[in-house]
Amino acid sequence: MGEVVVIRKMRPEDRRRIREICCQTGFGGESIEPIFDDPELFADLWSSYYTDFEPESAFVAEHIGEVVGYLLGCLDTRRYNRILFGRLAPRLLGRILTGRYHIGEKTRAYFRSLIAQLLRGEVVNPPLKEYPAHLHINIAAGCRRMGIGSLLMESYLAYLREKGVRGVHLGTSSLHTSALPFYEKLGFQLFGKKPTLFLGKKIDSIAYVKRL
């Protein structure tokens, strides 16, 4: 692997870099630029719960003094849902209405597609009683295939076991072609998949689960 990779808990000063990686990898492992207008809104949407409300469950990978990957975790998805809909969503909506974000046609198409998926029931949701925890994991493009994802996942799974969590799930899609074998190698099992249409492209919405 060359230089040592350090896996550690997130620190407050890591928040900016986590948000950068979130936007650099947020569309099938690639940049969100072709499908989303404002990176601040995207990062607020997909990372702010973990960095602001549950940072103790977030891990980062540091390589040559720079954060090059993260695993954002949540012990209890029901708590996540309460905070998402009770606090985060109203805050984001308020910022949208007051012009804090740039909302262009790409962003409008993204949200139309996301909401349509939800309304059509095309997102796979494992039972939270059995699999209460969840995660998001992303590695910067230049640092993949170095074993960083496995190190992050091992640290998080050990953390979940220490906390007495009985199971974990993750949501992904067939856009993430290289990630699916990675999850299966780590013992995650396919819970289900549903065909869906996202931004005009036919893909599968996929959920993996793992008992601990």
Ordered DSSP codes for 19-40:
HHHHHHHTBTTB-STTT-S-HH
pTM metric for this prediction: 0.93
Domain region containing 118: 5-211
**Pairing of β 5-9 and β 201-211:** unpaired
**CA-based nearest residue to 40, from 13, 68, 20, 60:** 20
Does position 2 have pLDDT exceeding 60, yes or no? no
**What are the backbone angles phi and psi of residue 29, rounded to the nearest 5°?**
85, 0
Q: What is the rounded CA–CA span in Å between residue 152 and residue 156?
A: 6
168-212 confidence digits (pLDDT tens): 999 999 988 788 999 999 999 999 999 999 998 999 999 999 999
**Mean predicted confidence (pLDDT) in 108-116:** 95
AA identity, residue 63 = H
Does position 144 have pLDDT exceeding 90, yes or no? no
Q: What is the rounded CA–CA span in Å between residue 55 and residue 164?
A: 18
Residue 101 belongs to domain with CATH number? 3.40.630.30
Q: What percent of the chain has pLDDT over 70?
A: 99
pLDDT the model gives residue 176: 81
Q: Is 165 exposed, middle or buried (0-12, 13-18, 19+ CB in 10 A)?
A: middle
24-82 confidence digits (pLDDT tens): 999 988 999 999 999 999 999 999 999 999 999 999 999 999 999 999 999 999 999 99
Q: How many domains does the chain have?
A: 1
